[in-house]
Amino acid sequence: MSEEQEQLKLHNLSPAPGAKKKRIRVGRGEGGRRGKTAGRGTKGLKARNSPRPGFEGGQTPLVRRIPKLKGFNNPNKEYFAIVNLVTLNQFEAGTEITPDLLRDQGLIRHRGRVKVLGEGSIDRVLSVKAHFFSAAAAEKIEAAGGSAEVISE
């Protein structure tokens, strides 16, 4: 590289001509072009400093659209995986049905405790183990000759 050619070094770098524009400083006295109202026009919300936080141009703001109270979400509520007797009817007679078996079969998706409800009827002898039984479900299982055993985990 010859001495005449400009070498590419940090102290020689500069932006291309026209790439940098000078920032316009507004509101610096009435003698300048952008004095007094500083290009904002006169009066009105936009001529002043800035709208208050949460202002949405006159439409009802999000804070006022969402209900203030109404209801309560209990963080400690326990959700049960529910199984009806109609579902248990697909197992063969003499089968011992447990929550793990129901999960393996894809009949329940929840990880929590299992509750058996009495919708439908049961026509085979089954040994059902679950965390909770409705009175009707336990009655129907035992009427069919099976057993409803409450487990606790």
Segment 56-87, tens digit of pLDDT: 988 999 999 988 888 888 999 988 999 999 99
- The pLDDT of residue 110 is above 80: no
- What's the pLDDT at 70? 80
In angstroms, rounded to a whole number, what is the distance separating the alpha carbons of residues 85 and 105?
Answer: 15
Angle at 19 between CA 15 and CA 24, to 5 degrees: 120
Reply yes or no on whether the pLDDT at 107 is more than 80. yes
Q: What is the pLDDT of residue 131?
A: 94
Q: Which domains does the chain have, with CATH numbers?
A: 22-71 (no CATH), 81-150 (3.100.10.10)
> Would the pLDDT of 2 be above 70?
no
pLDDT of residue 93: 86
Which has more confidence, 110 or 143?
143
What backbone torsions phi and psi does residue 127 show, to the nearest 5 degrees? -105, 110
